[in-house]
């Protein structure tokens, strides 16, 4: 089976939203997280979805599941104290429902809605062939590595640089095993799953994606997504 774990367990303080977490801000009549989940829900190869949500907002997420007919959502679970622990909660729930072995799992941010069916398919194929898939966007500016004293240590070749984005795909038993090992060793706050997998020696294969596959974190990101949504809607008419 091909599964998706969509995590939206954070409050999004950088968004400065008035009364709700960023994943529940409305664009074109529905919350950002619904825009994201709908892409997975429509994909013919996705068999089940686990959503990781802020605990107090789970009842609202249940309402959204019904209102927008997100029928592939099999479970909604609370987030953890860190992003890593939120992802672990989703992976553990996927294993509980579907079993641990033989499943591709795509891990994705609930506030990263500018993806499409082709990118999901490419991630599934990459996991089937290579065991991993990291959606990566192009680097448009020069990247430098700096020291603790803020001195440039290396100017990185732009041709060999990418920005890690999402979805990120793995075999469920592999990524869950790494999560369990990390937690047992007190490692619970890695910046993202590919960092964790690389830390434990796993090879990672990339899947190219567009630069506009952004995580909506700031007001500027929100306005950009709304502008893209407007353009797509207007494109329906001549």
Please compute Rg for the chain using Cα positions: 18
Q: Is 122 helix (H, G, I), strand (E, B) or coil?
A: helix
Rounded-to-integer distance, Cα 12 and Cα 123, Å: 27
| Least trusted range by pLDDT, from 12-16, 81-85, 154-158, 189-193 | 12-16
111-161 pLDDT per residue, tens: 999 999 999 999 999 999 999 999 999 888 898 999 999 999 999 988 889
Q: How much is the pLDDT for 178?
A: 98
Backbone phi and psi for residue 144, each to the nearest 5 degrees, phi listed first = -125, 145
> What's the pTM value of the predicted model, to 2 decimals?
0.92
79-118 pLDDT per residue, tens: 999 999 999 999 999 999 999 999 999 999 999 999 999 9
Longest alpha-carbon distance in the chain:
58
Q: How much is the pLDDT for 10?
A: 60
Contact criterion met (CB below 8 Å) for 73 and 145: no
Specify burial of residue 103 (Cβ count, 10 A radius: 0-12, 13-18, 19+). Answer: buried
Return the domain boundaries, the chain: 2-229
Fold of 2-229: Spore Coat Polysaccharide Biosynthesis Protein SpsA; Chain A (3.90.550)
Contact criterion met (CB below 8 Å) for 166 and 194: no
Q: Is the pLDDT of residue 15 over 50?
A: no
């Amino acid at each position: 089976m091909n599964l998706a774990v969509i995590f939206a367990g954070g409050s999004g303080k950088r968004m400065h939203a008035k009364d709700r977490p960023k994943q529940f801000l409305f664009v074109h009549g529905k919350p950002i997280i619904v825009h994201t989940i709908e892409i997975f829900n429509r994909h013919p190869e996705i068999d089940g979805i686990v959503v990781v949500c802020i605990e107090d907002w789970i009842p609202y997420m249940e309402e959204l599941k019904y209102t927008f007919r997100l029928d592939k959502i099999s479970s909604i679970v609370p987030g953890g104290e860190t992003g890593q622990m939120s992802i672990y909660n989703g992976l553990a729930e996927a294993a509980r429902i579907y079993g641990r072995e033989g499943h591709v799992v795509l891990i994705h941010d609930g506030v990263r809605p500018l993806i499409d069916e082709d990118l999901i398919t490419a991630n599934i194929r990459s996991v089937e062939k290579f065991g991993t898939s990291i959606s990566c966007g192009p680097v448009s500016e020069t990247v430098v590595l700096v020291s603790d004293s803020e001195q440039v240590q290396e100017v990185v070749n732009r041709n060999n640089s990418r920005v890690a984005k999402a979805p990120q795909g793995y075999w469920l038993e592999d990524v869950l095993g790494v999560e369990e090992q990390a937690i047992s060793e007190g490692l619970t706050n890695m910046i993202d799953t590919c960092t964790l997998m690389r830390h434990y020696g796993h090879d990672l294969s990339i899947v190219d994606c567009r630069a506009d596959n952004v995580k909506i974190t700031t007001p500027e990101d929100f306005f950009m997504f709304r502008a893209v949504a407007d353009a797509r809607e207007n494109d329906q008419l001549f």
